[in-house]
């Protein structure tokens, strides 16, 4: 039951180097793939600005949701944990961890799931929290 961060869905919908790896995850017949509602909002923001058509992006996301991508609500537990994670790990110079990143981490912890990301800092932070990481290539094709 992996949790994807925004970079994974952006890579998939944006036809980036990680698309085949994310496609394999989404098509796997046994696992449910999760994304937090906050990270889903990030996908719409990033791709909506990149493509210039948020409605088109939302339609693409609807197809993923119809195909089995599950959205996890950000409840009090995830919110509190995300805030604590950011307070513990964020550093403006060496560890620029966004709140969205911390929501993905907190969601993985809440579900006791792996985290799928192409973000090096997020992957390192996840490992420091004993979260198993599935690394996918970033937009330059480099693994974190």
For residue range 70-94, what is the model confidence (pLDDT) as tens digits? 999 999 999 999 999 999 999 999 9
Q: What is the CATH number of domain 3-135?
A: 3.40.50.1010
Which tokens is 130 given?
Answer: 């004993």
Q: pLDDT by residue (tens digit) across 79-134?
A: 999 999 999 999 999 999 999 999 999 999 999 999 999 999 999 999 999 999 99
The pTM (predicted TM-score) of the whole model is 0.93
| pLDDT value of residue 29 | 62
**CA 105 vs CA 28, 41, 112, 135: distances in Å:** 22, 16, 10, 14
CA angle centred on 124, ends 31 and 23, rounded to 5°: 30
pLDDT for 28: 78
pLDDT one-digit tens code per residue, 58-73: 999 999 999 889 999 9
């Amino acid at each position: 039951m992996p949790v994807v961060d925004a970079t994974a869905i952006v890579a998939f919908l944006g036809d980036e180097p990680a698309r085949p790896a994310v496609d394999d995850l989404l098509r796997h017949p046994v696992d449910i793939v999760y994304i937090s509602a906050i990270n889903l909002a990030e996908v719409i923001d990033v791709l909506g600005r990149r493509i210039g058509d948020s409605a088109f992006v939302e339609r693409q996301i609807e197809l993923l949701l119809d195909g089995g991508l599950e959205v996890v609500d950000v409840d009090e537990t995830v919110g509190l944990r995300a805030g604590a994670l950011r307070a513990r790990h964020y550093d403006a110079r060496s560890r620029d961890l966004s709140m969205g990143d911390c929501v993905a981490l907190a969601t993985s912890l809440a579900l006791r799931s792996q985290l799928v990301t192409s973000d090096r800092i997020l992957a390192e932070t996840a490992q420091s929290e004993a979260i198993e990481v599935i690394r996918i290539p970033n937009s330059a094709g480099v693994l974190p």
